[in-house]
């Protein structure tokens, strides 16, 4: 098989790029190691930046998001028994975010690719990129007993943190930056009415908590837990009790509990791989960068990668202009690092660090007091949360 763009990974990054390029007549194939059901069974992001929502609309995949998603113009920070509202609309001159689950947007992208007759190959085993530093790169993968080959002009590594593409860049070329946090997030999904119409990020001496949602009948909650904890350590009742302890009393009193339909622990890390291009292979999304989910930048960091790659590939095929491709890594990393900074800052601001010295504890409290007392600080938080310009 020969395609213009071969994409490794059928998550949101790979599917969104495939759909956008398709609409411009650029031929792609997506190779996904798992089944569609498995990919859709993962519960991940919930908040979409304005820019991501716009890309979904441009990909002709925004209709259900606009119908079922919720526009949120602010969120709360709970601390010391009270909650303060961060007015995104006020501090960004009218911008907002869309609350719409990654599972649903990935479903919408799969449906769009299927409707367009797109080539999305599931259960593709042992996908390997080859000759990525040549003008004739190609992919191989195993389908049953057969090894298949796909010749490409370009390869996109959208295969997430544990994928094969980043590891295909020579070690003397690849630079990796990583910061691992001494805790994780225990997340729960429950078919209950959300405790708050807007998200609540809670800073508490017992640990961070987050009240989020997927709809008015589907709630998503998180509590910070030690890295040594396992899901088995936490019954539903234990989760609800701990969540209530970390919320202001008037919020905890209104919390509607119920059985978990999903419960999992995600470790928190900050990670960036540079460069995001090697030869004719480009990295996008979690394949190149990971953030702690505190600032809701994970999926949204992938959006600008996809935006830059989409426009660069269209310029290449329609105008013979390779400036976008040549500048991709530097341009993508400039915005990726700003999302890294914001995610690190929000994580440091709101979490309990077991070995923090008293001076740093007071500094953390002062950072929060300054934020809540300063329009300039709030504006900085707001512009990062709704998404910096592409």
Can you give the binding site for ligand PHB, defined by CB under 6 A?
Answer: 45-47, 199, 212, 220, 293-296
CB of 247 to ligand PHB, least distance (A): 16
341-377 per-residue burial string, b: 16 or more CB within 10 A, e: under 16: ebbbbbbbbbbbeeeeeeeeeeebeeebeebeeeeee
Residue 28 touching ligand FAS (CB under 6 A): no
> Which residues 304-363 are close enough to bind ligand FAS by CB under 6 A?
none
Closest CA to 291 of 348, 360, 239: 348
Among ligand FAS, ligand PHB, none, what binds residue 156 when CB lies within 5 to 8 Å by partner kind?
none
Residue 184 touching ligand FAS (CB under 6 A): no
Window of 12-20, 92-100, 345-353, 363-371 that interacts with ligand FAS by CB under 6 A: 12-20
Among ligand FAS, ligand PHB, none, what binds residue 294 when CB lies within 5 to 8 Å by partner kind?
ligand PHB
Residue 49 backbone dihedrals phi, psi, to 5 degrees: -65, 160
Query: How far is Cα 191 from Cα 213, in angstroms, rounded to an integer?
Result: 10
Residue 302 touching ligand FAS (CB under 6 A): yes
CB of 388 to ligand PHB, least distance (A): 16
Closest CA to 160 of 23, 38, 283: 283
Among 3, 19, 27, 33, binds ligand FAS (CB under 6 A): 33
Q: Residue 201 pairs with which residues in a beta bridge? A: 77, 210
Query: How far is Cα 175 from Cα 278, in angstroms, rounded to an integer?
Result: 12
Task: Assess contact for 30 and 180: CB atoms under 8 A.
Answer: no
> Which residues 361-390 are close enough to bind ligand FAS by CB under 6 A?
none
> Which residues 91-110 are close enough to bind ligand FAS by CB under 6 A?
102
Using alpha carbons, list the distances in angstroms from residue 340 to 21, 139, 178, 323: 27, 31, 11, 26
Residue 31 touching ligand FAS (CB under 6 A): yes
CB of 278 to ligand FAS, least distance (A): 16
Query: How far is Cα 332 from Cα 322, in angstroms, rounded to an integer?
Result: 15
Task: Assess contact for 141 and 269: CB atoms under 8 A.
Answer: no
Residue whose CB is less far from ligand PHB, 155 or 265: 265
Among ligand FAS, ligand PHB, none, what binds residue 279 when CB lies within 5 to 8 Å by partner kind?
none
Residue whose CB is less far from ligand FAS, 62 or 184: 184
Residue 6 touching ligand FAS (CB under 6 A): no
């Amino acid at each position: 098989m020969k395609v213009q763009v071969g994409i490794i990974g059928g998550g949101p990054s790979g599917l969104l790029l495939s759909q956008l390029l398709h609409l411009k007549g650029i031929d792609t194939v997506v190779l996904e190691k798992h089944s569609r059901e498995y990919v859709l069974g993962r519960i991940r992001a919930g908040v979409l930046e304005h820019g991501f929502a716009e890309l979904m609309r441009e990909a002709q995949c925004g209709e259900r998001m606009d119908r079922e998603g919720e526009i949120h113009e602010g969120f709360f920070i709970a601390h010391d028994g009270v909650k303060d509202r961060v007015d995104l609309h006020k501090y960004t001159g009218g911008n907002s975010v869309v609350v719409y689950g990654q599972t649903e947007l990935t479903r919408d992208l799969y449906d769009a690719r299927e409707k367009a007759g797109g080539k999305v190959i599931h259960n593709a085993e042992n996908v390997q990129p080859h000759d990525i530093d040549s003008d004739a790169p190609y992919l191989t993968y195993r389908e049953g007993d057969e090894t298949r080959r796909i010749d490409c002009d370009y390869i996109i590594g959208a295969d997430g943190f544990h994928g094969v593409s980043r590891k295909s860049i020579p070690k003397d070329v690849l630079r990796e930056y990583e910061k691992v946090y001494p805790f994780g997030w225990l997340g729960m999904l429950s078919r209950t009415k959300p405790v708050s119409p807007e998200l609540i990020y809670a800073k508490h001496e017992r640990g961070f908590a987050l009240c989020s949602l997927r709809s008015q009948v589907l709630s998503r909650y998180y509590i910070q837990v030690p890295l040594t904890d396992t899901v088995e350590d936490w019954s539903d009742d234990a989760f609800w009790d701990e969540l209530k302890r970390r919320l202001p009393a008037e919020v905890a009193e209104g919390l509607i509990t119920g059985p978990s339909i999903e419960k999992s622990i995600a470790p928190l890390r900050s990670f960036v791989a540079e460069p995001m291009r090697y030869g004719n292979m480009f990295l996008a999304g979690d394949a190149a960068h990971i953030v702690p989910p505190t600032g809701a930048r994970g999926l949204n960091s992938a959006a600008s990668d996809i935006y830059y790659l989409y426009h660069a590939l269209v310029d290449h095929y329609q105008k013979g202009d390779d400036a976008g491709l040549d500048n991709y890594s530097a341009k993508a990393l400039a915005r990726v690092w700003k999302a890294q900074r914001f995610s690190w800052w929000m994580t440091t601001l709101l979490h309990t660090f077991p070995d923090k010295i008293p001076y740093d504890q007071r500094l953390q409290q002062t950072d929060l007091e300054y934020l809540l007392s300063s329009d300039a600080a709030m504006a900085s938080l707001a512009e990062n949360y709704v998404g910096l310009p592409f």
